[in-house]
Structure 1
């Protein structure tokens, strides 16, 4: 076949290859509609004659679809890609969309990136991971496109969540059951109030009941009430970002308190792993002198020594399920996924 000179249309290509217009279109846009052999044959011939495929802009005008999904993250881009839980979520999301040849446009919430640039109008819909800044959420809603939320809820949208309260309750009940009658526990919280620094909970309003960390806090506190060991606000630390540095600072302050807590209930594995290091630096043995628990079950939780007692959440599955709901591969309804307590060396 001789390479054709000039601008080819989809109709021209279909005529040259002796197939229908729809077959050529499906080879580029809906590969699942053709056999692998037929699709590869059509794509090979298109390369020979110099046809790059249907014009994306024209296709989007015709169908109203671009094949691009907006993913709004609740934090800075750099933070979201370095955080193990966010990384697993994005992996689950990407695997589903990649297999079906969709593209992702990742958008931060806390960076100084404005949605007014117009790219939010170009996507087919949004998956929103964690509550973004209110004004950015309002801008997404104003687009009147499909929105699926993960780790939070908004009225009228399908959501994918885990049972944060039940996971925290089970973890705290396990830890507090082995504490001495005169013992004390401390909570190393994460974004539970409006203070942008590591501090005790004494001042600052709690965020709304729907946030995941407030649900975890309620689980910890209810377990403490069950064992008649209420945890005073002075023994609850606010940590604004899920980083080793801030977790270490809060853990060191807690472990140097008088009386020293026998149990540290941490709202993330990153914080708990930082607490393990702080305990070692203070000459404390885990679990003999202090028991430490986490939440998330990231890979490092079972490779460190001592291994970390934590709550396993289905981070990757959240991404997979959100993507499948968006694409119509699952029923369009909200889901709450179960958690599982993983008992290991840090709090046997």
Structure 2
């Protein structure tokens, strides 16, 4: 019987250098600074490494030496699946990933729940900087990000953070244009379905105080734009029903629309602060036998592909470009110390889901 087989110890940088008769620096350069070696020498080092089972420099040790992790952290206060399920988040993620590819750096997703305050994942993330995707002003994970000594870029919200780069759109201007469009069509009986206004679940009507006190700047601004447009037509915003839904999904949109239509059956237009909610509202209207736009005009915000496919009237924003800009701000900042704020344009897309009441003598001057 033969004796026990002892597995061969994996090669190290030192043993590989000795095997090849070169310096440790030469082996290290083959991985970290290939421009310092001739192509034949680098290939000889890599071939020997494969043959001897050398896995390459330890990335943890290398990051300790260089003080660089080689990755960007993307903070999402949603479930991980949200990044791949929500079309807006997907478009933004594509743009950010393209920016990371160009810079030769990795991308680490850091999804956390808005209903939980555990911030360990932020503190433990091995990243060179953070991109924060649309979080509330009082989010504890965002506060943890600001405590890290690395550059940070905010996408959309929160706003007005000192020393932090930001990329977003003018949400108020977008809904102002949308609201004016509905006013020009003759709509005065308008209902609104909005996304969450705080990190605490509230699936009900949101009064003016709750709207103005929202910790989500994007929702505040979108509601403010609608309010301004309707005020121009003499509509008292306190009389406009605003229904809030915590979840951002088709089902939430359908459920919110049902609540709104049940409590205010006389509305002629339903404005949703996202296309996802609007698509759910369209489903609810169809299930009720309501014709869109003959019986009810429906509009959204975002310009996601499915909204375009069904002809939804909406405000289009450039998600992919936002991701690219966020990546540029973080990865091409160089020695810049002054924060940069980028505001990208929106575009009102008039689809087939809104119609003028005057076309059939249905104009209403009030409730």
Interval of TM-score (by shorter of Structure 1 and Structure 2): 0.7 to 0.9
Cα separation, 1, equivalents of 2:230 and 2:85: 33
The one of 47, 50, 62 aligned to 2:50: 47
Q: How does 1:212-291 map to 2 (within 5 A)?
A: 212-232=218-238, 235-258=241-264, 260-291=266-297
Change in CA separation of 1:28 and 1:290 when aligned onto 2, cut-off 3 Å:
farther
1:277-299 per-residue CA deviation (whole Å, 9 max, x = no partner) reads 11112221111111111111111
Q: Once structures 1 and 2 are overlaid, which stretch shifts more, 68-77 or 226-235? A: 226-235
1:184-225 per-residue CA deviation (whole Å, 9 max, x = no partner) reads 111111113576232112386233476101100000110101
1:292-338 per-residue CA deviation (whole Å, 9 max, x = no partner) reads 1111111101222xx10111111111111111221116876121111
Match of 2:74 in 1: 71
Cα separation, 2, equivalents of 1:341 and 1:155: 31
Match of 1:177 in 2: 184
Kindly indicate whether the alpha-carbon contact (under 8 Å) linking 1:198 and 1:249 is maintained by their aligned counterparts in 2. no
Match of 2:105 in 1: 102
Kindly indicate whether the alpha-carbon contact (under 8 Å) linking 1:194 and 1:205 is maintained by their aligned counterparts in 2. no
Query: What's the TM-score, normalizing by structure 2?
Result: 0.80
Match of 2:61 in 1: 58
Kindly indicate whether the alpha-carbon contact (under 8 Å) linking 2:99 and 2:328 is maintained by their aligned counterparts in 1. yes
Cα separation, 2, equivalents of 1:328 and 1:118: 23
Q: Once structures 1 and 2 are overlaid, which stretch shifts more, 228-237 or 53-62? A: 228-237
| 1:319 and 2:323 matched | yes
Kindly indicate whether the alpha-carbon contact (under 8 Å) linking 2:117 and 2:141 is maintained by their aligned counterparts in 1. no
Change in CA separation of 1:226 and 1:256 when aligned onto 2, cut-off 3 Å:
same
Match of 2:363 in 1: none
Q: Once structures 1 and 2 are overlaid, which stretch shifts more, 231-240 or 82-91? A: 231-240
Kindly indicate whether the alpha-carbon contact (under 8 Å) linking 1:193 and 1:238 is maintained by their aligned counterparts in 2. no
What is the alpha-carbon root mean square deviation over aligned residues? 3.3
Deviation, 1:236, is 1.1
Kindly indicate whether the alpha-carbon contact (under 8 Å) linking 2:198 and 2:216 is maintained by their aligned counterparts in 1. no
Consecutive unaligned residues in structure 2, runs of 5 or more: 1-7, 356-367
Cα separation, 1, equivalents of 2:42 and 2:309: 44
The one of 136, 148, 151 aligned to 1:146: 151
Kindly indicate whether the alpha-carbon contact (under 8 Å) linking 2:190 and 2:240 is maintained by their aligned counterparts in 1. no
Match of 2:194 in 1: 189
Match of 2:162 in 1: 155
Change in CA separation of 1:39 and 1:94 when aligned onto 2, cut-off 3 Å:
farther
Kindly indicate whether the alpha-carbon contact (under 8 Å) linking 1:121 and 1:143 is maintained by their aligned counterparts in 2. no
Cα separation, 2, equivalents of 1:14 and 1:88: 49
| 1:299 and 2:305 matched | yes
Change in CA separation of 1:87 and 1:10 when aligned onto 2, cut-off 3 Å:
farther
Match of 1:86 in 2: 89
Aligned residues: 339
